[in-house]
């Protein structure tokens, strides 16, 4: 039995056209008009709706353990369900080994977190937070296990940062094997000094989190990482770009013809540093790293998205409840768990860029779906509307209103950074491999139906 989506406007990264789309099993079968229809086929009337490839969120931290017993509040079940409600049909999550833990052991742990729970398809990136030779000896096995992207941090010296030498070693291996290194770019050692100095002055309110991590130190780390990649001719992907300084470093690299990719996140486009100054302890709700920046940076990021300097928009979804988690840092910003919830609201927020004429609807599709699929090795299976691709499809209602209050959303977190906002543009139906998993307010998917996306080297 087939499903026919009729009367809609197909919107891809390259064009918008009136056409129907036929789904057979898990795949897109054909696109056109007067498509064959047999008794028993399901007809979906998409009049007034846009038919788009499902969103791909290439940066999530579901069920991420941080310190003690604290974990990101969405696990693979609640997080992927919320993602689906927002129009996202695939995520790529970060396997985050504890220092000292083997990479393959950590990969096993993450498979265990996702298996039986994920409602949409998922892949993994591997974080390399330890530079011992035993860790590097495992890289080939990780690649063979379907994980061809590796994340490094130039921040968090006590837990995640590795040295420039180790980064260069990873980039060298990566260039040889055709994999991609993803980088969190902030100067961790300088941040540690600034943080200690703020603490000595008893400047421990949430807003000092941002003061301890100035944008110039993101720009410096971005330029340094690009230099390291250039030395060994390796491609590089900068995660969560927040500021003008980093964007300028990326632009300079692109002008030199380097293979540098980047993403930003909705919160760097829609929120600003002043949120950290909200009265009481409310500012803690906006603590993430890199931090929110003054408004002027967002303007430049939008330009970067429109001009093609920034390739994608991912979420860095890393939610923590306000009560009991963010409040751990009531007396000291260093104890506030870093991260914001966003897996469900990414498409609706980015759609505002279309409404405000900052980006076209085709660029929107490219940023939230097609580019992440291409960069991370999921194309042509995902991120496109072409025969043979997975039928991961969003029927987008440009007129549907969504309240961004925590009480109206599905993420498992007790607050929303966008409380009080109502925006236009949301999915009316979401298909994952041909199955309708969201229909209006109803979730029809099942935990565990999501499949692991084994990826091959892309470069
Ligand atoms: O604040 C954030 N972004 N937390 C998640 C970890 C990371 O740095 O991406
Ligand atoms: Zn990061
Ligand atoms: Zn992250």
> Could you state, in chain order, the average pLDDT of each consecutive group of 10 residues for the chain (459 residues)?
97 98 98 95 98 99 94 98 99 97 98 98 98 98 98 97 98 98 98 98 98 98 98 98 99 98 98 97 98 98 98 98 98 98 98 98 98 98 98 98 98 98 98 98 98 92
| CATH 3.20.20.140, applies to 54-375 | yes
pLDDT of the residue at 68: 83
Ligand 1 touching residue 169 (CB < 6 A): no
pLDDT of the residue at 114: 98
pLDDT of the residue at 67: 85
**Neighbour tally for 316: CB within 10 Å:** 26
Instruction: Write the DSSP symbol of residue 293.
Output: -
What is the CATH topology of the domain spanning 2-52+382-443? Answer: Urease, subunit C; domain 1 (2.30.40)
Q: What is the mean pLDDT of the chain?
A: 98
Looking from the CA of residue 288, the nearest atom of ligand 1 is 1
The answer to whether 316 and 241 are in contact (CB under 8 A) is: no
Distances (CA, A) of 271 to 52, 204, 274: 27, 21, 8
Q: Which two tokens stand for residue 47?
A: 């009049």
Q: Which helix (H) or strand (E) holds 4?
A: strand 2-6
pLDDT of the residue at 227: 98
Ligand 1 touching residue 29 (CB < 6 A): no
Looking from the CA of residue 155, the nearest atom of ligand 1 is 8
Question: CA neighbours within 13 Å on the CB side: how many for 155?
Answer: 23
CATH 3.20.20.140 occupies which residues in the chain? 54-375
CA–CA dist 359, 128 (Å, integer) = 35
pLDDT of the residue at 38: 95
Q: Which helix (H) or strand (E) holds 304?
A: helix 295-307
Distances (CA, A) of 146 to 110, 169, 381, 432, 456: 13, 21, 15, 21, 6
Choose which residue among 188, 318, 336 to substitute to test ligand 1 binding: the one with the highest number of ligand atoms within 8 A of its C-beta.
Answer: 318
Identify the CA nearest to 181 among candidates 244, 119, 127, 102: 127
CATH 2.30.40.10 occupies which residues in the chain? 2-52+382-443
Q: For ligand 2, an ion, list residues with CB under 5 A.
A: 184
Looking from the CA of residue 156, the nearest atom of ligand 1 is 8
Q: Which two tokens stand for residue 322?
A: 């306000």
* Greatest distance between any 2 Cα atoms in the chain: 75
pLDDT of the residue at 177: 97
Q: For residue 429, how far is its CA from the centre of ligand 2 (angstroms)?
A: 31
Q: For residue 126, how far is its CA from the centre of ligand 3 (angstroms)?
A: 12
Annotate 336-363 with b (16+ C-beta within 10 A) or e (fewer): bbbbbbbbbbbbbbbbbbbeeebbebbb
Identify the CA nearest to 323 among candidates 404, 411, 414: 414
Whole-prediction pTM: 0.98
CA–CA dist 102, 173 (Å, integer) = 18
pLDDT of the residue at 284: 98
């Amino acid at each position: 039995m087939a499903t026919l989506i009729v009367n809609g406007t197909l919107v891809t990264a390259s064009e918008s056209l009136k056409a129907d789309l036929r789904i057979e099993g898990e795949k897109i079968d054909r696109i056109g008009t007067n498509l064959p229809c047999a008794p028993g086929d399901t007809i979906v009337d998409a009049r007034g709706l846009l038919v788009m490839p499902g969103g791909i969120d290439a940066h999530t931290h579901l069920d991420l353990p941080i310190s003690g017993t604290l974990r990101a509040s969405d696990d693979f079940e609640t997080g992927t369900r919320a993602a689906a409600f927002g129009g996202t049909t695939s995520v790529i999550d970060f396997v985050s080994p504890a220092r000292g833990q083997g990479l393959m052991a950590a990969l096993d742990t993450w498979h265990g977190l996702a298996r039986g729970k994920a409602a949409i398809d998922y892949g993994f990136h591997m974080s390399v937070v330890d530079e011992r030779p035993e860790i590097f000896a495992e890289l080939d096995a990780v690649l063979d296990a379907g994980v061809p992207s590796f994340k490094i941090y130039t921040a968090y010296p006590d837990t995640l940062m590795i040295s420039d030498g180790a980064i260069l070693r990873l980039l060298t291996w990566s260039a040889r094997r055709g994999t991609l290194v993803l980088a969190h770019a902030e100067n961790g050692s300088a941040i540690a000094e600034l943080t200690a100095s703020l603490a000595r002055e008893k400047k421990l309110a949430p807003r000092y989190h941002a003061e301890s991590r100035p944008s110039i130190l993101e720009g410096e780390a971005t330029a340094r990482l690009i230099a390291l990649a250039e030395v060994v001719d390796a491609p590089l992907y900068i995660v969560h770009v927040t500021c003008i300084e980093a964007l300028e470093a990326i632009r300079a690299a692109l002008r030199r013809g380097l293979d540098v990719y980047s993403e930003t996140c909705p919160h760097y486009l829609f929120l600003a540093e002043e949120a950290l100054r909200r009265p009481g302890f409310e500012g803690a709700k906006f603590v993430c790293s890199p931090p929110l920046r003054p408004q002027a940076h967002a303007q430049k990021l939008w330009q970067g998205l429109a001009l093609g300097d920034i390739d994608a928009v991912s979420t860095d979804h890393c939610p923590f409840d306000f009560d009991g988690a963010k409040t751990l840092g009531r007396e000291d910003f260093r104890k506030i768990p870093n991260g914001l919830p966003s897996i469900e609201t990414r498409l609706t927020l980015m759609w505002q860029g279309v409404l405000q004429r900052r980006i076209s609807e085709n660029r929107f599709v490219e940023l939230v779906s097609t580019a992440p699929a291409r960069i991370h090795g999921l194309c042509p299976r995902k991120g496109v509307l072409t025969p043979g691709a997975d039928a991961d499809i969003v029927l987008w209602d440009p007129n549907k209103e969504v309240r961004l209050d925590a009480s109206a959303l599905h993420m498992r977190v007790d607050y929303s950074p966008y409380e009080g906002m109502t925006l236009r543009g949301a999915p009316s139906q979401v298909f994952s491999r041909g199955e309708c998993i969201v229909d209006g307010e109803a979730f029809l998917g099942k935990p565990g139906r999501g499949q692991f996306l084994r990826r091959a080297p892309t470069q």
